[in-house]
Amino acid sequence: LSSQRPHVRIPRSGTKDASTASSVPVRHRIDIDASMALEAIPSGPTNSPEFRQRTHENIENLSQMTRANGAGEAFLRFNDVDDHMAVWAATECLTRLESADMLFIDGTFRITPPGFYQTLTVTASLGTQFVPVAWALLPNVTEGTYRMALRELKRAVTLETGHCNITAVMADFETALRRAITSVFGINASSLRGCIFHAHRAWYRRLIELGLGPAYREIVPRGQPHSFLNTWLHCTFGLCCLPSDEVSAAWDALVALLPNDQRVADFRAYMERNWVRHDSVWPPVHWAAVAGERHRTNNAAEALHSSLKDHFIRGRSERPGNINIFIERLQSFHQSVRRKLRSTEEAVSRRAVDKERARVEITDRYRRGAINLIEFLEENGRLNTFPRNIID
């Protein structure tokens, strides 16, 4: 394999069909199975040169796709044995990527085949749909590796459309990934959002570590008031519903009411060091989102990863398959992506809509002066109560 860059692969003759068995003729399915069988599965130590070479040869030979009319379609965009990386994105996805109002970039280990460390996914918000548009197998999660994968994606978009203007991205609070996103796409801090769910999960875990979990999870009889400590802790989880430039002052208001408890003092130090100040590790501009904003979490990426596990890891096995299986299932999964691209309308979670309406109503009462800041924070904080699997 060549290690020259740019390393963009173009479909060759004899491309293989990527459809699932239920949506293509049996003879096409046989062609897929036969081509997979002809490529030897990489064997031996996963860090050996032989394993890596065979892996990338299989990626090159098995990643081509054809449409129903027999026309070839580019799918593999980058494949390099020296960098041990591969990037996939269909043309129909690349041409729609810039029209997304948000890209969700996240990594998963669940489906990653032997020899690689992580699978990076890029999901686009198109209308009310969340559409997976790009995939990458990575050898590690360093900033340089993330930057290379995203640069190759940007290169592929530019080759298809003549430009690549990404305006908004959401990602986890992973320094290496966020630096790579900023470097490659040139977006500012306010356009690189962090998932509120992951922020709140970090706060909640810190509460548990400090022994404040029972106070936070306090249960009282209906109609009875919560303790002041419980109320104060929930108020912190309402900070995310303020404009980012109001968070620091709101935090000061909470600090003025700080309970006399060393555990709370330690939690205050944690929040100020990491979250609520303009010079914190993750300042409010990364995670505060006023009521009515559509994208508050990267649940779209998390939901994708959950569905990928069901598609890629079948039967009783909890382990991902080899690279041949990974490619075959990536191609078949893309058929569902094609269906999504035909329509930008998809049902929205009623629970998510109801909770966002509640946030809007709370914000309206606060702006009208019907409730004060502390009441605003507590009401929103109780909407965002942990522990839950999802914060809409």
Residue 20 lies in a domain: no
Residue 6 lies in a domain: no
Indicate if 30 and 160 belong to the same structural domain: yes
How far apart are alpha carbons 337 and 240 in whole angstroms? 32
For the stretch 284-314, what's the b/e string if a residue is b when 16 or more beta carbons lie within 10 angstroms of its beta carbon?
A: bbbbbbebeeebbbbbbbbebbeebeeebbe
Residue 310 Cα distances to 117, 248, 315, 320, 361, angstroms: 19, 42, 9, 11, 38
Q: What is the pLDDT of residue 1?
A: 44
What are 35-44's pLDDT values in tens digits?
555 578 888 8
Task: Give the DSSP per-residue string, 147-212.
Answer: HHHHHHHHHHHHHHHS------EEE-S-HHHHHHHHHHH---GGGEEE-HHHHHHHHHHHHHHTT-
Which uninterrupted H or E stretch holds 28? Answer: helix 26-38
> What value does the mean pLDDT take over residues 24-50?
64
How far apart are alpha carbons 169 and 100 in whole angstroms? 10
How far apart are alpha carbons 378 and 264 in whole angstroms? 17
Residue 377 lies in a domain: yes
Q: In the predicted model, is pLDDT for residue 88 greater than 50?
A: yes
Residue 7 lies in a domain: no
Residue 168 lies in a domain: yes
Residue 17 lies in a domain: no
Nearest to 178 by CA among 287, 306, 294, 83: 287
For the entire predicted model, the pTM comes to 0.81
Indicate if 67 and 119 belong to the same structural domain: yes
What are 282-311's pLDDT values in tens digits?
999 999 987 756 666 656 656 665 667 677
Indicate if 125 and 235 belong to the same structural domain: no
Indicate if 175 and 112 belong to the same structural domain: yes
> Is 190 in contact with 244 (CB distance < 8 Å)?
yes
Q: In the predicted model, is pLDDT for residue 207 greater than 80?
A: yes
Q: What is the pLDDT of residue 250?
A: 98
Q: In the predicted model, is pLDDT for residue 22 greater than 60?
A: no
Indicate if 276 and 371 belong to the same structural domain: yes
Tokens of 190: 């306010």
Query: Which domain does 91 fall in, by range?
Result: 26-193+297-342
Indicate if 169 and 312 belong to the same structural domain: yes
> What value does the mean pLDDT take over residues 13-22?
34
Q: What is the pLDDT of residue 345?
A: 52
Indicate if 260 and 304 belong to the same structural domain: no
- pLDDT-based confidence at 339, cuts 50/70/90? confident
Indicate if 155 and 206 belong to the same structural domain: no
Residue 3 lies in a domain: no
* Strand partners for 125: 130
Residue 12 lies in a domain: no
Q: Which amino acid is at 216?
A: Y
- How many domains are there within the chain? 2
> Is 137 in contact with 115 (CB distance < 8 Å)?
no
What are 246-284's pLDDT values in tens digits?
999 999 999 999 999 999 999 999 999 999 999 999 999
What are 89-144's pLDDT values in tens digits?
999 999 998 888 899 999 988 889 999 999 999 999 888 788 899 999 999 999 99
Q: In the predicted model, is pLDDT for residue 18 greater than 60?
A: no
How far apart are alpha carbons 272 and 267 in whole angstroms? 9
Helix (H, G, I), strand (E, B) or coil at 76: strand
On average, the pLDDT of the chain sits at 83
Task: Give the DSSP per-residue string, 78-126.
Answer: EEETTTTEEEE--HHHHTTGGG-S-EEEEEESTTPPTT-SEEEEEEEEE
Nearest to 131 by CA among 161, 162, 89, 78: 89
Residue 50: how many CB atoms within 10 A of its CB?
11
Residue 67: how many CB atoms within 10 A of its CB?
14
What are 343-373's pLDDT values in tens digits?
655 555 555 667 778 888 999 999 999 999 9
Helix 49-62 to helix 26-38 angle (10° resolution) is 160
Indicate if 182 and 92 belong to the same structural domain: yes
Indicate if 363 and 250 belong to the same structural domain: yes
Indicate if 312 and 329 belong to the same structural domain: yes
Nearest to 170 by CA among 205, 197, 147: 197
Indicate if 110 and 240 belong to the same structural domain: no
